Structures are given as structure tokens and as C-alpha cells.
Amino acid sequence: MKTTPEHNQRIAKMTFASVYPHYISKVEKKGRTKDELHQVIEWLTGFNENKLQEFIADKITFETFFQKANLHPNATLIKGVICGYRIEEIETPLTRQVRYLDKLVDELAKGRKMEKILRVT
């Protein structure tokens, strides 16, 4: 399933602050913690909790968020379907990176072991 230019643009302009509370809610409803969420985000992006809070306060877009990120080298091991899209087939790098994050949050909420989520080899 291909993403449309409109879809990609909407994701690029979405703020991290608008999605972050949904991430917390999703993982906490399933018995996981905010600290575990931060561990997953830090693994993917290199951003610690203080940096995330700064980004939330500044209302940065996902475009800026991922421009500043230092993606983990194993991020390409994140595969599967999220929001109706097969991650490894998404051509737009930013949209693929946002879906990486969505997939990790989803795996955390589903109770997957942290070493599996963080692609420890």
C-alpha cells in the first residue's frame, strides 16, 4: 500500500506533542510504563526524556523531530504492518520513520519483551 503525498505531508506537519499523550495512554492502558516508552523512543531516536519535554514544549513537527534524531542502526529491522501500511514498503523516509516509532509503541503496548522491541541481536 503506497502512501499519498497528502498523507506524507500531514505526517510531516503533525507535532510530536499532539501524539505523545496517545503513546503514553496506549502503553499505560496495557500495563507498561512511561519509562519503558521513553526507553523505546530513546533507543530509536537518541532523545532522552529532557529532550522529549523540550520538543513537546516547542511543539516541533515530526519532520523536525526526525531531522534532529540519530536513528538507531537497527531501526531497519523494524518490519510489519502498522496503520494499514507495511513499514518496509513505505518509500518516504520520514513517513517510514514515524511508522517505526508507531510500531515500537504498538509492540510495547502488546507486551512484547523489551529486548525484542529494541532488536537486541
Q: Write down the domain spans for the chain.
A: 5-116
**Beta-strand relationship, 85-86 and 81-82:** antiparallel
- DSSP character at residue 2: P
Alpha carbon distance, N-terminus to C-terminus of the chain: 29
User: What is the band of 30 on the pLDDT scale with cuts at 50, 70, 90?
Assistant: very high
**Model pLDDT for residues 72-116, shown as the tens digit of each residue:** 999 999 999 998 889 999 999 999 999 999 999 999 999 999 999
Helix, strand or coil, per DSSP, at residue 22: helix
Q: What pLDDT was estimated at residue 87? A: 95
CA 108, CA 31: separation in Å to the nearest integer? 10
**Model pLDDT for residues 48-77, shown as the tens digit of each residue:** 999 999 999 999 999 999 999 999 999 999
For the chain, what is the radius of gyration of the CA atoms?
Answer: 13
Q: Which CATH number is associated with domain 5-116?
A: 1.10.8.290
Q: Mean pLDDT across the stretch 3-13? A: 91
Q: What pLDDT was estimated at residue 18? A: 97
